[in-house]
Amino acid sequence: MQQTARCARIFRFGPFEFDPDNRELRKHGLKVRLVGQPTEVLTLLLERRGELVRREEFRQLLWASDTFVEFEHGVNAAVMRLREVLGDSADQPRYVETLPRQGYRFVAAVETRESNASRIATPPARENPPQPEKIFGARAKRRTIGWIAGIGLVLVALSVFLIDWKLFRLPIRSGSTNAPSIRSIAVLPLLNMSGDPNQEYFADGMTDELVARLSRIRSLKVISRTSVMQYKETRKTIPQIARELNVDAVIEGSVVRAGRRIRVTAQLIQAATDLHLWAQTYERDVTDVLAIQSDITEDIAHEIRATLPAPDAEVVRSRPVSPKAHELYLQGRYHILKGEFRKALESFSQAVREDSDYAAAYAGVADSQNMLGLYEFMAGKDAFPLGQAAALKALELDDTLAEGHTSLAWTKLVHDYDWSGAEREFRRALELNPNYETAHLWYGLELVWEGRFDSGVAEVQKAKELAPFAVRTSTTAALVFCLTHQYDTAIIRLKEAVELHPAEPGGHVWLGLTYLKKGMNEQAIAEIQRGVELLESAKQRPVNVPLARLGYAYGVSGKRHEAVMVLERLRTISATSYVSAFSFAVVHVGLGHNDDAFTWLQKAYDERAPELVFLKVDPRFDSLRSDTRYQDLLRRMNFP
């Protein structure tokens, strides 16, 4: 396999400048995101500008001779991505021309100038630096070859490189004592360069796992995956993205999966200066995919002077995972992040059938079961015990899994009403992964539900800082002010959440409920109706919860006929699918039917309806607080 010649030159064409040494493309002086194989394609085309570069030459450049891959699709994908970045067209090419069945040619005028990098001294290398040789697909093992060794020793060492198939690494810059301070970071979605759109879940899953591993570094703030996904295929510059996310540095990269081989390219970029601090390419067998994640994490930690927790080396490297199980796990994470909880459960369940010792997959089963109960696809009394069993199994296999502790905490909260036990599990999860926004979010809600408002709001705010653009953190960080009876603040924050996520039903519904407490009944009904309509049109989750809140709003507003019609609709839905008893209770509260409300609340208690944990602080139940039946229910739920 060939290697593109590296030269100390900058190529200039149109508004672009390309530095092949540092793998940087700029447009009008601003960094443009280009990573992985498109970078190699551009380098070769520029080196051979005006000439036909045959497809076979690209194959030799991008893949090892013994790598089995549908390279036609891979080349097409790399060129397509390059054209997207350049704003080019295959039909009317300004830069990259296609010669059918032959290859490609760079057709624009190109100027070259000497790179500044060729005139400055090499930065000081860290102790035992990795070798800079580029060996795509080679079986390389990390070690330093001393300059004083003889030619024979060099050949022996190189033979070890070729035999072991361990790791290819290309450092752009090693860490030094003058390295910039990095206290916060965002991992942009890794690009899928496999040439197969059906592998998108794999790239997204690898992104998710890298975020999770980096999140365990206590000294580092890591933005959650839910907030970085909006930058997938973005044309924004790194400094723009970093400003929006409020981070010091950004990691970007790509994933290529070909047969049983995986190649991941990652780059660490300083946000303020757009300076590439570090870059590596890792290639492994699919059975070593977790080791790739661990190596990337360790290398980044080294560059930013951070310390990994000890369990990372002990647990992650302890056993390889079945490739099939890992693929199913990534599919599960892909589905759960899209809100497809049944599909996620099926993928995670298949993963544990493939590999019965796969702790993360059991945690995925727990997450899926808990979400099915939370969003009322099924009764809590049926969903949450299954989630708890899966979480316990995950922790039996790996007690350092923050996701497992968080899922267990949730079931202790909404099913067992074990408030102190839930708090212990949340705290343990945050000890293991201080950047896990789900643990911060749910723990904050527990504190609010208990009436510990200041601590709860602060904990929810931590979740929002880690996931500033995520739907659930934006909405939850606003609705807690309604639960703490700070209605004016709640309205301001909920309006911001609705503006950020206008198609998300939850923000509209909670804004409507808050309007009710301010006596703005017509605005309240309009907002909640909008939430119901959005959920009905999406057809992704049951409509029962917002529909019941609409019925409550009708009742409070004196629209009794409309409220009764909502009750009839809920009964109709319950004939074919699950409807929580809590939903019926809420409408009766709005109508002032207290006896009926308590009858349904008792049923909700028996069903372990998840919304029941709102009972102590939810303003909707203010009219019931003086009733002894209300106090008895709080006592049985073990509220502190």
**pLDDT range class, residue 191, cuts 50, 70, 90:** confident
Mean pLDDT score, 127-151: 34
**C-alpha to C-alpha distance for 14 and 94, rounded to whole angstroms:** 9
Residue 146 Cα distances to 249, 299, 306, angstroms? 33, 22, 28
Q: Which of 180-189, 307-316, 460-469, 474-483 has the lowest mean pLDDT?
A: 307-316
Residue 287 DSSP one-character state: G
Q: Is the pLDDT of residue 134 over 90?
A: no
Mean pLDDT score, 166-189: 60
Q: What's at 473, amino acid-wise?
A: T
Pairing label, strands 191-192, 24-27: unpaired
**What is the CATH class of 184-303?**
alpha beta
Higher pLDDT: 552 or 129? It is: 552
**Tokens, residue 2:** 């060939």
**Tokens, residue 463:** 């979740």
Answer whether 621's CB lies under 8 Å from 589's CB. yes
Q: What's at 467, amino acid-wise?
A: A
**What is the CATH class of 9-114?**
mainly alpha
Q: Tell me whether residue 120 is exposed, middle or buried, using C-beta atoms within 10 angstroms of its C-beta: 0 to 12, 13 to 18, 19 or more.
A: exposed
Q: What pLDDT is stored for residue 3 in this prediction?
A: 42
3-class secondary structure for 69-133? CCHHHHHHHHHHHHHHHHCCCCCCCCCEEEECCCEEEECCCCEEEECHHHHCCCCCCCCCCCCCC
In 346-429, DSSP assigns E strands to none
Higher pLDDT: 289 or 343? It is: 343
Radius of gyration in angstroms for the set of CA atoms belonging to the chain, rounded to a whole number: 28
Q: How does pLDDT run across 495-543, given as a tens digit for each residue? A: 999 999 999 999 999 999 999 999 999 999 999 999 999 999 988 889 9
Answer whether 311's CB lies under 8 Å from 183's CB. no
Q: What pLDDT is stored for residue 613 in this prediction?
A: 97
**Tokens, residue 275:** 């300076």
Q: What pLDDT is stored for residue 272 in this prediction?
A: 79
**pLDDT range class, residue 129, cuts 50, 70, 90:** very low
Q: How does pLDDT run across 255-276, given as a tens digit for each residue? A: 887 777 888 888 888 887 777 7
Average pLDDT, the chain: 83
Q: What pLDDT is stored for residue 344 in this prediction?
A: 96
Mean pLDDT score, 142-168: 37
Q: What is the H or E stretch that residue 25 is in?
A: strand 24-27
Q: Is the pLDDT of residue 161 over 60?
A: no
Q: Which of 90-99, 318-327, 357-366, 620-629 has the lowest mean pLDDT?
A: 318-327
Answer whether 171's CB lies under 8 Å from 22's CB. no
Q: Is the pLDDT of residue 173 over 60?
A: no
CATH of region 321-416: 1.25.40.10
Mean pLDDT: which of 156-160, 216-220, 430-434 is highest?
430-434
Higher pLDDT: 215 or 555? It is: 555
**C-alpha to C-alpha distance for 162 and 147, rounded to whole angstroms:** 20
Q: Is the pLDDT of residue 551 over 80?
A: yes
**C-alpha to C-alpha distance for 535 and 474, rounded to whole angstroms:** 18
pTM, two decimals, is 0.72
- Residue 408, Cβ neighbours under 10 Å: how many? 29
**pLDDT range class, residue 61, cuts 50, 70, 90:** confident
Answer whether 581's CB lies under 8 Å from 548's CB. no
Partnered with residue 105 across adjacent β-strands are 97
Helix, coil or strand: residue 436: coil
Q: What pLDDT is stored for residue 615 in this prediction?
A: 96
Answer whether 249's CB lies under 8 Å from 58's CB. no
What length does the chain have?
640
DSSP per-residue codes, 515-551: HHHTT-HHHHHHHHHHHHHHHHHHTSS-SHHHHHHHH
**pLDDT range class, residue 165, cuts 50, 70, 90:** very low
Q: How does pLDDT run across 369-428, given as a tens digit for each residue? A: 999 999 999 999 999 999 999 999 999 999 999 999 999 999 999 999 999 999 999 999
Q: pLDDT over 90 for what percent of the chain?
A: 51
Domain boundaries, the chain: 9-114, 184-303, 321-416
**C-alpha to C-alpha distance for 327 and 486, rounded to whole angstroms:** 46
Q: Give the strands of the sheet with 16-19, arranged side by side.
A: 30-32, 24-27, 16-19, 9-13, 111-114
Q: Is the pLDDT of residue 186 over 50?
A: yes
Q: Is the pLDDT of residue 178 over 90?
A: no
Partnered with residue 244 across adjacent β-strands are none
**C-alpha to C-alpha distance for 578 and 379, rounded to whole angstroms:** 7
Higher pLDDT: 2 or 148? It is: 2
Residue 118 Cα distances to 8, 19, 21, 240, 279, angstroms? 5, 11, 10, 29, 19
